[in-house]
Chains A and B, each alone.
Chain A
Amino acid sequence: MLKARWFKVINDLFGNKTRTLLIVLSMSVGLFAVGIILSARTILSEGLSESFAAINPSSGTVRTIQLFDEDFLESVRNMKDVEEADARRNISARLLTKSGEWKNLTVFVIADYDDIRVNKVSSQSGAWPPPERQILIERAALSVIEAEVGDVVLIKFPNDVERRVKIAGAAYDPAQLPAQIDGTPYGYMTFDTLEWFGEPYGFNELHIVAINGEDKAWAQRVVNRVKDKIEKSGYTIPLSMIAEPGQLPMNDVLQGILLLMGLLGVLSLFLSAFLVVNTVSAILTQQKRQIGVMKAVGGSSAQILGMYLVMVLAYGALALLLALPLGVYGAGALSAALAGFFNFDIYSMESPPETFAIQIAIGLILPVLASLLPFLANVRISAAEAMSNYSMSKGRFGGNPVDRLLSGTSLWFARNLSVRSILLSVRNTFRNKGRLTLTLITLTLGSATFISVFNVRASLSSTVEDMIKWFNCDTMLALDRSYRADKIQAEAESIPGVTGTDVWVQLPARLIRADDSESGLIYMFSPTVHPESLIVSPSLSEGRWLAPGDENAVVVPSAMLLDEPEMKLGGDITLKIDGEEYVFKIVGTFKGMAFLPIMYVNYDYITKITNRTGEADALMIAMERHDPEFVDAVTREVEERFEIMGIKIGLATTINTERRDAEASFDAIVSLLFAMAVLLALVGGLGLMGTMSINVLERTREIGVLRAIGASNQSVAMVFIREGIVIGVMSWAMGAVFAIPMTQGLNQALGQAVMGTPLTYTYSMPGFWMWLGIVILLSVLASFIPARNASRLTVREVLAYE
């Protein structure tokens, strides 16, 4: 048989279902946030490594200019320390989209689709292997090329052969950068189809898996030995790449997201704790009188504390019942969305047991700890006080400078204004400063996060703008080979709408480290450096931009200095260009992505050392107008003119597309941040609702007085709604200030993870004003239910309450 006190606990829990539901919901929102973040973090981390391991990722990739065959591949497979090797043909083709835009398309030609041994590609849907004269498209690329399985697309090979090819299916190739991020779609065909395009049989890309390839330095040595063999066999290697062991191409960005999720998880935890303290305070305030009665009939503090702790534990357990399955579901959905964005499969959506353990600990232990504070505060008051009627002596207002500031003497200017009820709301706000502080902390954190998310979004845009603003052009054309610079510039400048042109040379380069190992592929861009150049300095992190007359000066991405410890600003580096080694001095670093290594050197110097003086393989075009329609139209005209002239374009990119692609790569992060901000705002709103409910309860007698002196339902409700708004606006103001360091922290974390340098700080005024609107709405909604309850109280009920 249960003791009488436990009946009280049970009856309190289930007797007031609305209150229980509100408390359980408040707690479960925090627990859900913690669960979803921690679970998704683990699911993504594990899914990423499992997914990547499943494709047998290469330790390194070597490209050759001359084609090689199966016999050579077999000889590489038989090399010592080579665990596996595979080969494919890599062709940079172009594809005409439905909107009439020529998109770059990397076509992989694989000999046996059922025996891919390294960087495995698998079927996602449709035909497998690709039928003759048909193509498979990487699943993440279908949206980029604006096509679906079954569509027929026009593909143009570098040999100018154009064929209409049916998309027979979708392939899954997680080893490539997702097409929606780097803008390059991937296609897969057979050698029969390649022959149809007029290309000879043979491979030009070798994927090697080293034994013990998880040791990057060792894998580098094995790949170097393979390269030696390739070169000794008479092949030229234009580029080779070493992969980060066990990491997908977008690992840095994903790690940035996971880091942010961790930060938000900690934040959610804090908010949950504040919410619990607020909630428990609400329960204790409501039960203050009953606590006094229990003391009066002999209940000890320990006994009463035990009752409330069990009640809080029950709330926690109920919240867990809701939050655990929702967290699992949410984590699955979030993981699936992010995995889809980064284009990798997740084999297991199972939430880790540690997450459940943490949620259970938070759900059960945290409320108990959090409730000790308000409980001890309640225990300190005597039973007589707990049972006493509302006392003016305990009004708590008027005793300090803030109160005096809000009192009549300071507000002399308002004496003749009809703002009495507004002043009542403002003064009421400051009556219980402890509760106000807790509510403000919760809501301010929500406000700061919301504004910060908008700031981060604005900072990302600013950073992207910084990254591309030094391109004073609208279109960049990468040509298939070097052409005479003056000839292509003159042709382009003769087209109406073109206001200026500039050229550069771009070369593949590799960093030669002190131990003779080589880095992955580095894109070496060599722009002209003179006052009329269309390229001015990129957004520099440190040092300076190239200067006219610079010889071996190089500007490198800041992220690269983190990856390559030997590289220092002002230091020398050895770069391998066209098979020759050159020493360069790092004069500056710019904000750039870690996964896209680019270096800048002086055009005049590079063309001199590579014997290409007066030549260019890339053309930049500046136009009269910069809107996408105009730029696309002029670009098409330039392409057509060049085609007639026999100048082949390898890649055409507009600045508008670059901007769009760069911003798209951050969309997942911003969406995630936004979802978290909404969640935190919800937690803050629930906290405010809890506070307003307690305020109504505490002021039941006052409400009776207001009604007795003729206050209408609306007037009574408005006192509380205005109080909610005052708290909301205060949290907005404080959140707006707190958002400054929070944004700096997020910019630092996100920028370092993705680009090795903080994002360009920008404060989003739309976010600032939008949150003011939202917080007022939230405050009205959060205060509405308690205010409505207050307005419904009759004088008789007030007496009954006493």
Chain B
Amino acid sequence: MNSPTVKPLVELRRACKVYDSLAGSVTALDGIDLQINPGEFLVVTGKSGSGKTTLVNILTGLDRATSGEIWVIGEPMHDYGPERAAKVRGKSMGVVFQSFELLPTLTVLQNVMLPMDFARRYPIWEQRKRALSLLEQVEIADHAKKLPTALSGGQQQRLAIARAMANDPALLIADEPTGSLDSATAEIIMDIFDRFIESGRTVFMVTHDRDIARRGSRIVTLSDGKIVGVEDSTHA
């Protein structure tokens, strides 16, 4: 599995997440231990309600774990409040959602520029250039001036990936990125992820699609908030 000589990019130690509601407590993640190495394309799969999205949320700092440790690129996300977590995301992570989550009142170009603006990583004159370059990489530069609603589902997800790559993150985290797409478009998205891996970066992807999951280098299966299986894919 993991080489003992390589320092993991992401490490989860006994990560737990419990939701409280009027109906009582629900354990979404139950003591997850997981490591992701640099350059790895890790895919998490499982049935609906198995805890996949919760795992994405605590990994990205969008939500906090109830207990356990979550280390991402040397940052203890479990200790971080929303502010620190947002900074880490802006600097080191790109996040892609199933429902794209694009800002409807910004153009395609402006959507990609927004994370750069927040992270203050590039001078303003470079932001536009870089955003156009990213849009070219995902082959939607022609639509730069359009609003996201004018794009097809596949184009919107490509835009979401371009936005996720805006600050040149070491880690791309994708939650069901192909869940809303047809199989042909899903292939295009996966090709983009492959190119991302080829450039030496790491991808963490959640999917319930077994065919898509096989594109990863390692497949982790979740059930009832626990890891029930780990397998290396032939893809790697």
- Residues of A with Cβ closer than 8 Å to B? 1, 3-5, 7-8, 11-12, 15, 289-290, 292-301, 303, 379, 382-385, 387, 392-393, 395, 398-399, 802
Contact = CB atoms under 8 A, between A and B. Distances in A.
B101 interface: yes
Q: Which of B111, B117, B127 has the most CB of A within 10 A?
A: B117
B89 A298 contact: yes
B105 A384 contact: no
Given A3-B117, A384-B62, A8 B103 contact: yes
B127 A4 contact: yes
Contact of A15 (B83, B91, B105, B110): B105
A297 B115 contact: yes
Interface string B47-66: 00000000001001111100
Interface stretch (B18-26, B135-143, B197-205): B18-26
Contact of B101 (A11, A12, A296): A296
B90 interface: yes
Interface in B91-143: 91, 95, 97, 99, 101-107, 110-111, 113-119, 124-125, 127-128
Contacts of A382: 57, 62-64, 82
A11 B105 contact: yes
Contact of A295 (B62, B106, B110): B62
Contact of B86 (A7, A15, A295, A392): A295
A3 B111 CA distance: 11
Given A382-B82, A802-B99, A296 B106 contact: no
A299 B117 CA distance: 9
B167 interface: yes
Given A4-B114, A5-B118, A393-B23, A12 B89 contact: no
9 contacts: A4-B106, A296-B95, A298-B90, A298-B115, A300-B118, A301-B86, A303-B118, A382-B62, A392-B21
B215 interface: no
Contacts of B116: 4
Given A296-B95, A298-B89, A8 B22 contact: no
Contacts of A290: 103-104
Given A298-B118, A393-B21, A8 B106 contact: yes
Contact of A298 (B20, B63, B102, B119): B119
A300 B119 CA distance: 9
Contacts of A8: 103, 105-106, 110, 114
A716 B124 CA distance: 48
B101 A393 contact: no
B218 interface: no
A323 B124 CA distance: 37
B91 to A, nearest CB: 7
Q: Which of A294, A384, A399 has the most CB of B within 10 A?
A: A384
B87 interface: yes
A298 B87 contact: yes
Given A1-B128, A300-B118, 5 more contacts: A7-B106, A296-B62, A297-B115, A382-B62, A383-B61
Nearest to B101: A293
A385 B103 contact: no
Contacts of B82: 295, 301, 379, 382-383
Contact of B118 (A289, A294, A384, A392): A294
Task: Give the 7 A-B CB pairs with smallest separation, nearest first.
Answer: A298-B90, A393-B21, A11-B105, A384-B63, A4-B113, A384-B62, A384-B57
B118 A12 contact: no
A416 to B, nearest CB: 28
Interface of B: 19-23, 57, 60-64, 82-83, 86-87, 89-91, 95, 97, 99, 101-107, 110-111, 113-119, 124-125, 127-128, 163-164, 166-167
A797 to B, nearest CB: 13
B86 A300 contact: yes
A12 B105 contact: yes
Contacts of B167: 298
A303 B83 CA distance: 10
Contact of B114 (A5, A15, A383, A399): A5
Contacts of A385: 63
Contact of A383 (B63, B91, B99, B128): B63
A301 B85 CA distance: 11
B118 A393 contact: no
B119 to A, nearest CB: 5
A11 B111 CA distance: 12
B87 A300 contact: yes
A12 to B, nearest CB: 5
Nearest to B166: A297
Contacts of A299: 86, 90, 114, 118
Q: Which of A1, A293, A294, A398 has the most CB of B within 10 A?
A: A293
A296 B57 CA distance: 10
Nearest to B105: A11
Given A1-B128, A298-B89, A298-B118, A7 B62 contact: no
A704 to B, nearest CB: 16
Given A5-B118, A303-B118, A297 B163 contact: yes
Q: Which of A1, A3, A398 has the most CB of B within 10 A?
A: A3
Contacts of B113: 3-4
A289 B99 CA distance: 12
B87 A5 contact: no
Nearest to A397: B22
A387 B128 contact: no
A364 to B, nearest CB: 23
A4 B117 contact: yes
A301 B117 CA distance: 14
A293 B101 CA distance: 6
A387 B102 CA distance: 12
Contacts of B105: 8, 11-12, 15
A298 B22 CA distance: 32
Nearest to B23: A393
A314 to B, nearest CB: 14
Nearest to B88: A298
Contact of A11 (B95, B97, B102, B106): B106
Contacts of A393: 19-23
Given A5-B118, A299-B118, A387 B62 contact: yes
A382 B116 CA distance: 22
Q: Which of B19, B21, B82, B104 has the most CB of A within 10 A?
A: B82
Nearest to B61: A383
A95 B106 CA distance: 77
Contacts of A292: 62, 101
A295 B82 CA distance: 8
A297 B22 contact: no
A294 B110 CA distance: 13
A297 B164 CA distance: 7
Contacts of A12: 105
A293 B103 contact: yes
A301 B125 contact: no
Contact of A296 (B60, B64, B107): B60
Given A8-B105, A11-B106, A15-B105, A297 B95 contact: yes
Contact of B124 (A1, A392, A398): A1
A74 to B, nearest CB: 82
Given A384-B57, A384-B63, A393-B23, A297 B110 contact: no
Q: Which of A4, A289, A293, A399 has the most CB of B within 10 A?
A: A4
B29 to A, nearest CB: 13
A399 B22 contact: yes
B87 A383 contact: no
A389 to B, nearest CB: 9
A12 B104 CA distance: 9
Given A8-B110, A293-B103, A298 B21 contact: no
B213 to A, nearest CB: 23
A6 to B, nearest CB: 9
A398 B83 contact: no
Contacts of A1: 124-125, 128
Contacts of B86: 295, 298-301, 383
